[in-house]
């Protein structure tokens, strides 16, 4: 039997050796504990971030006193397991040093049998300042390593960027959307476990072969025994019980048990089928009494990254259970600067939002953390595939033996922890390091390599290759062989020559496209640069007013106020938003209007990109915009703000990621009508185009029956723009495209023949009705054309659609899903008081 207890209570903390002990939360961190004790103000508010940079230069200690239960104390083996220590920690039990930790991403298991007492155990965890710890390493190295997003100046360290030395979440040191809070603390659980005969240390269900008829599987069971042991091993899963006599040796070993499942229910991503899951239970039995048990939940599927030569280059797509999948989703960053503030409900809101937005993939980006188990469990349940980076981003890292050993330990542990999740689709070495360094082409990259002598350059690249071309792929091969490994995102090839680095003309590999935004290129350029797999591109916006007001006072509500500038971490960010806005939209009348307009701008930008990517299927087979979420309230590229509030972009993504979408593409005087389908069956449908003027009069009409072909692009028709417009003024018309089957609408789109800026928008009267009392339908109608109607609910939640355009005489039905803490993430409800506005309400009028 295994006995366990959680050490979650009676913790206190203080600056090491100084001052009063204060109450602490475990799991938690120094910043949040200081805040809870009113020793610092809300770190996210105003410019408070800058005032609390002293915290990371101090050492901190945490202490608790605990008793062991009689049962636990009697066990032959007693282990203390730290699921996560952030980061440089020494642990003492009853005055005895039992552990030194130096990697936030690892767990630590210590034998405490020799030091544990039944009562009054004193546990002390002492954290050394990550800053003081790592500054000498910079001295020792003798040269700086690039770390583009490390906000060392904000931390009072000048040019000394030391984030690369710590195996600690890179974004803690600041990012171009994140504050600098270099935390310390016990950030995951502390447990004591006791066992006497044997314990199961690991359970992995290896998928040897999988067809729709049979799954040939092997359970790999890690077991540790106190002494040689004989007994029975039992494995149970849906409709199957297997038993086998086993002999277990003293110490650690892996026992394998092969078995088959007939007619397995495969795991599918959202859009392609059900995300079926299986539970496997393993027991070691002595005379029918269980001595050790472990349960795991996983799914059965094959997934591979297909990189196959073709006429133009090499494909880059995921094949799930033999089906090529167009990946639709976003990049995920940690949801909080203070990770222990995360709750199950917040994780669920994010993943439910992804599924609700018709996504099938999230990329866990390399500047954050290997996510919490809850994140992956939710992705398994909601059918969201995970592109998993290792935690290295936008920097070059050291290559000394101690660092490499630490990386190995971290990689092995996290690969083993995450490999059982059916959502796991890819292991990727790092974010943007291959392209930033660009070893094989002198004049590309981020200008890093040019700062070094040839000798140091070669050394830095050799260190890079050691980790990303040797250590990590070897670990993936050994522990997670079913999943492919890709050394860096983006990358074009694995050739070890100039073809390796991704550029905007690459016809293989994945691509990060930033010429729109960082490169100030017009939004239309999203249509010009389409790679095989668009793993990053993005466009910023502000959060909505409610969110801005959590960090700024009424008087600070202007772009140039110190607080607003502080909550914009991309130096050129505000300027870029303004420049793009001037190009495409009328001037907003005030600050709230500016926030609204920034949402529309961002949504229109990313919609343009997504549709261009999807229209290039199967040349392009994936699109993940930057970025899904935020770690604090800030202006950023996110589609959902820190509080989980959907920006206009989240709704645009939902619409553009539908399994079947209409694409209306205007190239000069020609209009191309296409339909992109990710469905696996052909669908009979009809498409209708109607040109309306802004009073709702029909000016032109087109109808056609279309067979929407499965998993491809169907070209429907090509039109001359002037044949559609004829005499009408392009500033005063909207072209509505509707795709329907006999019984339901598949998609609806609006196309305009001019920039939004030039549309004649009158202030509409928008009315809201609740036609039936019980079904929560909201009916929105307008008396004149309304652009981007924003429904703002009193309650927290999302609408079925929002920021939509509306033609007079054609009311739109929407529903509201309230964010819920109960059984479901989102529940059909009444939105409470509704505020309804549209673009005409926000533009400046003379
Ligand atoms: C990409 C990301 C992040 C960054 C974003 C916006 O390159 O990988 O490093 O936050 O761009 O600049």
Boundary residue ending a domain (298, 323, 342): 298
Residues 606 and 565 in one domain: yes
Separation of CA 389 and ligand 1 centre (Å): 14
Q: In the prediction, which pLDDT does 772 show? A: 80
Q: Whose CA is nearest to atom 10 of ligand 1?
A: 176
Across 351-365, 494-508, 800-814, 818-832, least confident range: 818-832
Q: Are 542 and 635 in contact (CB under 8 A)?
A: yes
Separation of CA 435 and ligand 1 centre (Å): 13
Atom of ligand 1 nearest to the CA of 512: 7
Atom of ligand 1 nearest to the CA of 149: 9
Separation of CA 426 and ligand 1 centre (Å): 19
Q: Are 241 and 216 in contact (CB under 8 A)?
A: no
In a domain? residue 571? yes
Separation of CA 587 and ligand 1 centre (Å): 28
pLDDT band at 1 (very low <50, low <70, confident <90, very high): confident
Residues 290 and 327 in one domain: no
Beta strands in 238-302 (DSSP E): 240-248, 251-262, 278-286, 289-298
With a cut of 80, say whether residue 322 has pLDDT above it: yes
Q: In the prediction, which pLDDT does 19 show? A: 85
Residues 203 and 320 in one domain: no
With a cut of 90, say whether residue 809 has pLDDT above it: yes
Q: Whose CA is nearest to atom 9 of ligand 1?
A: 394
Boundary residue ending a domain (298, 329, 350): 298
Q: In the prediction, which pLDDT does 774 show? A: 72
Pocket test for ligand 1, best of 392, 435, 568, 626 (most atoms within 8 A of CB): 626
Relative to beta strand 108-111, strand 96-101 is unpaired
Separation of CA 448 and ligand 1 centre (Å): 17
Query: CATH number, domain at 482?
Result: 3.20.20.80
Q: Which residue intervals of 37-98 are DSSP H helices?
A: 48-51, 70-74
Q: What average pLDDT is seen over the chain?
A: 97
Q: In the prediction, which pLDDT does 432 show? A: 98
Helix (H, G, I), strand (E, B) or coil at 99: strand
Query: CATH number, domain at 236?
Result: 2.60.40.10
Q: Are 420 and 298 in contact (CB under 8 A)?
A: yes
Q: In the prediction, which pLDDT does 455 show? A: 97
CA distance 704 to 689: 9
Residues 531 and 613 in one domain: yes
Separation of CA 649 and ligand 1 centre (Å): 18
The strand pairing partners of 199, in sequence order, are 224
Q: In the prediction, which pLDDT does 348 show? A: 98
Share of the chain above pLDDT 90, in %: 97
Residues 287 and 325 in one domain: no
Q: Whose CA is nearest to atom 8 of ligand 1?
A: 431
Atom of ligand 1 nearest to the CA of 518: 12
Q: In the prediction, which pLDDT does 446 show? A: 97
Query: CATH number, domain at 58?
Result: 2.60.120.260
Residues 353 and 332 in one domain: yes
CA distance 777 to 812: 10
Residues 275 and 422 in one domain: no
Which are the contacts of 568, defined by CB distance < 8 A and separation ≥ 6?
Answer: 574, 634, 635
φ/ψ region of 94 (left if φ > 0, alpha if ψ in -120 to 50, else beta) reads left
Separation of CA 550 and ligand 1 centre (Å): 25
In a domain? residue 595? yes
Residues 153 and 201 in one domain: no
In a domain? residue 440? yes
Q: Which domain holds residue 27?
A: 2-191
Pocket test for ligand 1, best of 364, 536, 624 (most atoms within 8 A of CB): 536
Atom of ligand 1 nearest to the CA of 148: 9
Residues 187 and 233 in one domain: no
pLDDT band at 360 (very low <50, low <70, confident <90, very high): very high
In a domain? residue 74? yes
Residues 261 and 376 in one domain: no
In a domain? residue 686? no
What does the pLDDT average to over 768-777?
Answer: 85
In a domain? residue 814? no
Q: What is the pLDDT of residues 406-439, one digit of tens each?
A: 999 999 999 999 999 999 999 999 999 999 999 9
Separation of CA 436 and ligand 1 centre (Å): 12
Pocket test for ligand 1, best of 163, 175, 176 (most atoms within 8 A of CB): 176
Atom of ligand 1 nearest to the CA of 538: 6
Q: Whose CA is nearest to atom 12 of ligand 1?
A: 176
Residues 446 and 593 in one domain: yes
With a cut of 90, say whether residue 773 has pLDDT above it: no
Separation of CA 370 and ligand 1 centre (Å): 17
* pTM, rounded to two decimals: 0.97
In a domain? residue 765? no
Q: What is the pLDDT of residues 281-313, one digit of tens each?
A: 999 999 999 999 999 999 999 999 999 999 999
Residues 181 and 202 in one domain: no
Return the C-alpha torsion angle 144, 150, 152, 155, nearest 10: -150
Separation of CA 573 and ligand 1 centre (Å): 13
CA distances from 174 to 49, 95, 171, 370, 518 (A): 11, 36, 5, 18, 18
Q: In the prediction, which pLDDT does 771 show? A: 86
Whether residue 618 has a cis bond before it, omega within 30° of 0: yes
Q: Are 754 and 731 in contact (CB under 8 A)?
A: yes
Q: Are 645 and 543 in contact (CB under 8 A)?
A: yes
Boundary residue ending a domain (635, 656, 677): 656
Separation of CA 508 and ligand 1 centre (Å): 21
Q: In the prediction, which pLDDT does 536 show? A: 98
Q: Which residues line ligand 1 (CB under 6 A)?
A: 175-177, 367, 393-394, 431-432, 512, 536, 538, 626, 637
Separation of CA 356 and ligand 1 centre (Å): 25
Atom of ligand 1 nearest to the CA of 570: 12
Q: In the prediction, which pLDDT does 336 show? A: 98
In a domain? residue 257? yes
Number of domains in the chain: 3
Q: Whose CA is nearest to atom 6 of ligand 1?
A: 176
Atom of ligand 1 nearest to the CA of 367: 9
């Amino acid at each position: 039997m295994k006995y366990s207890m959680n050490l979650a209570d009676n913790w206190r903390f203080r600056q090491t050796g100084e001052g009063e002990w204060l109450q602490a939360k475990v799991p938690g961190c120094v910043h949040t504990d200081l805040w809870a004790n009113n020793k610092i103000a809300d770190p996210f508010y105003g410019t408070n971030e800058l005032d609390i940079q002293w915290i990371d230069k101090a050492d901190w200690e945490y202490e608790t006193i605990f008793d062991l239960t009689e049962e636990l104390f009697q066990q032959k083996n007693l282990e203390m397991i730290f699921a996560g220590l952030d980061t440089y920690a020494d642990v003492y039990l009853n005055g005895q040093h039992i552990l030194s930790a130096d990697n936030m991403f690892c767990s630590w298991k210590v034998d405490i049998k020799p030091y544990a007492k039944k009562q009054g155990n004193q546990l002390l965890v002492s954290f050394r300042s990550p800053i003081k710890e790592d500054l000498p390493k910079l001295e020792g190295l003798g040269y700086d390593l690039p770390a583009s997003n490390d906000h060392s100046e904000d931390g009072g360290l000048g040019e000394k960027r030391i984030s690369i030395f710590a195996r600690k979440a890179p974004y803690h040191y600041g990012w171009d959307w994140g504050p600098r809070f270099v935390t310390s603390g016990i950030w995951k659980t502390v447990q004591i476990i006791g066992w006497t005969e044997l314990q199961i240390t690991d359970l992995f269900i290896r998928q040897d072969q999988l067809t729709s008829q049979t799954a040939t599987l092997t359970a790999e069971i890690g077991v540790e025994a106190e002494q040689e042991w004989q007994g029975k091993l039992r494995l149970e899963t849906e409709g199957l019980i297997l038993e086998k006599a086993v002999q277990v040796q003293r110490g650690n070993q892996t026992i394998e048990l092969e078995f088959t499942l007939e007619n397995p229910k495969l795991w599918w991503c959202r859009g392609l089928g059900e995300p079926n899951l299986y539970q496997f239970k393993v027991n070691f039995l002595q005379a029918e009494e269980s001595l050790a048990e472990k349960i795991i939940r996983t799914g059965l599927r094959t997934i591979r990254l297909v990189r196959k030569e073709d006429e133009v280059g090499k494909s880059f797509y995921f094949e799930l259970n033999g089906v090529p999948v167009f990946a639709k989703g976003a990049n995920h960053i940690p949801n909080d600067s203070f990770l222990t503030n995360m709750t199950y409900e917040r994780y669920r809101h994010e993943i439910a939002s992804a599924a609700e937005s018709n996504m099938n993939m999230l990329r866990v980006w390399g500047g954050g953390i290997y996510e919490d188990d809850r994140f992956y469990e939710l992705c398994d349940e909601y059918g969201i595939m995970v592109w998993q980076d290792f935690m290295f981003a936008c920097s070059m890292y050291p290559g000394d033996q101690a660092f490499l050993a630490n990386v190995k330990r971290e990689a092995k542990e996290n690969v083993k922890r995450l490999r059982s999740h059916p959502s796991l689709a890819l292991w990727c070495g790092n974010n943007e390091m291959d392209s930033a360094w660009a070893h094989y082409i002198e004049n590309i990259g981020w200008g890093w390599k040019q700062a070094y002598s040839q000798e140091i350059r070669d050394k830095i690249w050799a260190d890079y290759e050691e980790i990303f071309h040797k250590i990590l792929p070897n670990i993936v091969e050994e522990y997670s062989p079913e999943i492919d490994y890709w050394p860096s995102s983006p990358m074009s090839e694995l050739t070890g020559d100039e073809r390796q680095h991704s550029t905007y003309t690459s016809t293989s590999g994945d691509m990060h496209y930033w010429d729109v935004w960082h490169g100030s290129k017009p939004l239309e350029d999203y249509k010009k640069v389409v790679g095989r797999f668009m793993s990053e591109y993005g466009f910023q916006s502000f959060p909505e007013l409610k969110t801005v007001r959590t960090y700024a006072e009424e008087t600070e509500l202007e772009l140039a106020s110190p607080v607003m500038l502080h909550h914009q971490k991309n130096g050129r960010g505000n300027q870029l938003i303004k420049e793009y806005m001037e190009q495409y939209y009328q001037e907003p009348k005030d600050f709230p209007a500016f926030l609204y307009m920034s949402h529309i701008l961002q949504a229109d930008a990313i919609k343009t990109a997504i549709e261009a990517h999807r229209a290039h299927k199967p040349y392009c087979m994936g699109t993940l915009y930057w970025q899904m979420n935020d770690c604090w309230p800030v202006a950023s590229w996110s589609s959902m703000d820190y509080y989980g509030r959907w920006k206009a972009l989240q709704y645009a993504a939902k619409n553009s990621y539908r399994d079947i979408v209409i694409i209306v593409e205007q190239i000069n005087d020609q209009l191309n009508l296409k339909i992109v389908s990710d469905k696996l069956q052909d669908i009979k449908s009809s498409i209708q185009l109607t040109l309306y003027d802004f009073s709702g009069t029909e000016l032109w009409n087109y109808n056609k029956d279309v067979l929407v072909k499965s998993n491809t692009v169907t070209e429907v028709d090509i039109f001359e723009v002037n044949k559609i417009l004829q005499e009408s003024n392009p500033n005063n018309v909207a072209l509505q495209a509707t795709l329907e089957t006999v019984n339901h609408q598949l998609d609806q789109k609006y196309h305009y023949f001019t920039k939004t800026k030039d549309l004649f928008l009158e202030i509409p009267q928008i009315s809201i009705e609740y036609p039936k009392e019980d079904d929560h339908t909201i009916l929105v109608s307008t008396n004149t054309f309304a652009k981007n109607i924003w429904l703002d609910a009193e309650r927290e939640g999302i609408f079925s659609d929002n920021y939509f355009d509306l033609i007079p005489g054609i009311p739109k039905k929407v529903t509201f899903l309230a964010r819920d803490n109960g059984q479901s993430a989102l529940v059909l409800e009444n939105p409470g008081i509704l505020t309804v506005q549209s673009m005409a309400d926000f533009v400046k009028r003379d």
